[in-house]
Amino acid sequence: MNIDVLILFFNATLVTIISCVVVIGILKKQYLPVIQEEENKQRNAQNNNRANETITNDPEQKEGVR
């Protein structure tokens, strides 16, 4: 096996892998936390809506509310 040829093709492969790792690192660090936070916000908002709907649909709760 020619080690010098291996170095060339290893480096060519490595540079793509480095760029993928760097980009995925940026996504995980700078985008994922915001996505998760927004998802949580949406989930909480949905849960609150559902809870409100349950309250307004439940006659006993309606009485209680009154």
Partner 1 sequence: MAVGIMIGVLALYVGVGLALVKVIKTEDDFYTMGGRGSTVLIVGTLAATYLSATTLLGIAGQSYTEGPLVISALGSFGAWVGTLLAVVYVGRKMKAYGCSTMPDFFDKRFNNKWVSVVAIIIMIVGLIGYGVIQFIGAGIVLSEVTGVDYRIIVIIFTIAMLVFTAVGGMYGIVVTDTMMFFTMLMISVVIAPILIGQAGFDQMKNLAETLPGYWSIAGTEDRHIGWSISQFLVWILFFTCIPALVSRIFPAKNDFVILKVAIIGIFFAPFMQITVFLAAAAVRVLDPNISDPDYAMVIGFLDYTPPAIAGIGLAALMASIMSTASTLFVLVGFALSRDLYERLFDKKLNTKESLGAARIGQIIVGIVVCIITIIRPSAIYWISIYAGSIFAVGWLPTIVASFEWRRMNSKAALASMILGVTAFVLVGEAIRFNWLPVPEGIDALMISLVISVGALIVAAFLTKPNEYELRYYDTMKSTSMAKITLNEFMKRPDGLAQIKRQYKQIYAIAIIMTIITIGVWGYLFFMLGFN
Residues engaged in binding partner 1 (CB under 8 A): 1-2, 4-13, 15-20, 22-24, 26-27, 30-32, 34-35, 38-39, 42
In the complex, minimum distance from the CB of residue 10 to partner 1, in angstroms, rounded to a whole number? 8
In the complex, minimum distance from the CB of residue 64 to partner 1, in angstroms, rounded to a whole number? 35
Contact 54, 61 (CB under 8 A): yes
Q: Which residues contact 65 (CB under 8 A, 6 or more apart)?
A: 55
In the complex, minimum distance from the CB of residue 25 to partner 1, in angstroms, rounded to a whole number? 10
Cα separation, 42 vs 54, in Å, equals 18
